[in-house]
Structure 1
Amino acid sequence: MSQLPITEADLHAYVDGLLPHARRAEIAAYLATRPDEADRLDAYRSQNEALRKLFDPVLDEPVPARLSARPRRSTILQRVAAGLAIAFFSGIAGWHLHDQTAPGRQLAQAPAAAPAAASQRVAGLVRQAAIAHVVYSPDVRRPVEIGADQEEQLVTWLSKRIGSKIHPPKLGKLGYELIGGRLLPGESGPVAQFMYHDATGQRLTLYVSTEQSHNQDTGFRFAQEGPVNVFYWIDGKFGYALSAGADKGELARIAAAVHEQLEKS
Structure 2
Amino acid sequence: MTHIDPISEEDLHAYIDEQLDVVRRVEVEAFLAERPEAAARVMADLRARDELRLALAPMASLVRPSTGDAARRIDAALSRQAMVHRFRPAMAAVVLVAAGWLAHGVYSPGTLGANAVPGYVEAALSARQTSLLRAAMFSQPEAPDYDRAELLSATAIVTPELPADWTVTDVQVFPSQFGPSIEMTIDAVGYGTLSLFAARPGGFAVSPVSTLEMDDLSGAHWQLGEVAYALLGERRPEGLGQPAVTLAETLY
Q: TM-score range by the shorter chain?
A: 0.3 to 0.5
TM-score, normalised by the number of residues in structure 2: 0.48
TM-score, normalised by the number of residues in structure 1: 0.46
